[in-house]
């Protein structure tokens, strides 16, 4: 039986998004504030995931060795570095979060049984890479506050209470929802980007955050007049809203995760629905609670 283990590491580094073959206006249009000279920095958080059979000592790999490899091959070289000048790979493809994750995979693969590299640029933006050539995923995290009531209109208060408990109370209740949207695409071999991050954020803000924030979902969002706004249904509707606009950005919606509270979250795995325009038809196999 195989087991997956994860090792965390951290490094602080700076970088700049700038292509010398473009003029200043073109770089600013393409990269925004990230094009400013001399660059900007992040406290990166790295998760290295390994998979394998347990050995006679009860380990997939000796974590002391894993720690040593990560330090020698990655963190000792990147910590307090200007990434554009650190590794030759960043001379041809810019050190975006997704491309850094890809190159870290390449550095560690000869030494470790990798299954995933996850790199956080900050707590609301991270990339995952699994060795699929130039394919990677990028996740952005945002939030909105909203109220809802869980009740089917054709049922009595007693019947709804039997199903939904306190959530059926007539005046509703609220949550600070946290939303994670993951997209999958090909890393551009020059810019290092798989999607225009500003455009992606704008789509999420315009279609979800602004319409949903500080609303009573049952009454203010027409979709939920007839659909009970459970966390599952909210996530499913968000996936429906985002799928086509995100495709227009040249990437594929991979996953929508909605965190209703520290104790309750759900995920819609959208790529499992390929070939179907009806998310509800594939709700059960695509949802993880």
Catalytic residue among 111, 167, 232, 252: 167
Distances (CA, A) of 149 to 27, 173, 265: 48, 7, 17
Same domain as 103, residue 69: yes
Which of 262, 200, 257 is CA-nearest to residue 234? 257
Active-site option among 40, 122, 173, 214: 214
- pTM for the model: 0.91
Active site residue 214: yes
Closest CA to 147 of 260, 243, 46, 62: 260
Catalytic, out of 42, 260, 266, 270:
260
Domain that holds residue 268: 132-289
Q: Which of 131, 160, 180 is the last residue of a domain?
A: 131
Structurally, how many domains does the chain consist of? 2
Mean pLDDT in each 10-residue stretch from start to end of the chain (289 residues)? 95 97 95 95 98 93 96 98 97 97 98 97 98 97 98 96 97 97 98 96 98 98 96 98 98 98 95 46 41
Instruction: For residue 168, give the CATH number of its domain.
Output: 3.30.479.10
């Amino acid at each position: 039986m195989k087991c997956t283990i994860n090792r965390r590491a951290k490094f602080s580094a700076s970088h700049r998004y700038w292509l010398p073959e473009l003029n200043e206006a073109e770089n600013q249009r393409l990269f925004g504030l990230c094009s400013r000279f001399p660059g900007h920095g992040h406290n990166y958080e790295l998760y290295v995931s390994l998979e394998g059979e347990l050995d006679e000592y009860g380990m997939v790999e000796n974590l002391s060795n894993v720690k040593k490899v990560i330090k020698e091959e990655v963190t000792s070289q990147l910590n307090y570095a200007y990434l554009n000048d650190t590794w030759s790979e960043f001379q041809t493809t810019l050190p975006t979060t997704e491309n850094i994750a890809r190159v870290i995979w390449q550095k560690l693969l000869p030494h470790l049984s990798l299954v995933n590299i996850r790199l956080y640029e900050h707590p609301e933006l991270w990339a995952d890479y699994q060795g699929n050539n130039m394919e990677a995923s990028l996740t952005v995290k945002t939030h909105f506050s909203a109220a809802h009531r869980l009740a089917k209109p054709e049922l009595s208060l007693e019947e709804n209470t039997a199903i939904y408990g306190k959530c059926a109370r007539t005046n509703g209740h609220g949550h600070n929802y946290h939303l994670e949207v993951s997209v999958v695409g090909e890393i551009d071999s020059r810019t290092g980007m798989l999607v225009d991050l500003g455009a992606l954020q704008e789509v999420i803000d315009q279609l979800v955050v602004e319409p949903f924030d500080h609303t009573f979902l049952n009454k203010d969002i027409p979709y939920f007049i007839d659909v009970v706004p459970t966390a599952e249904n909210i996530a499913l509707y968000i996936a429906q809203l985002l799928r086509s606009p995100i495709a227009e950005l040249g990437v594929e919606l991979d996953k929508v995760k909605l965190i209703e509270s520290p104790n309750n979250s759900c995920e819609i795995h959208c790529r499992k629905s390929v070939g179907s325009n009806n998310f509800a038809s594939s709700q059960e196999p695509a949802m993880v609670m």
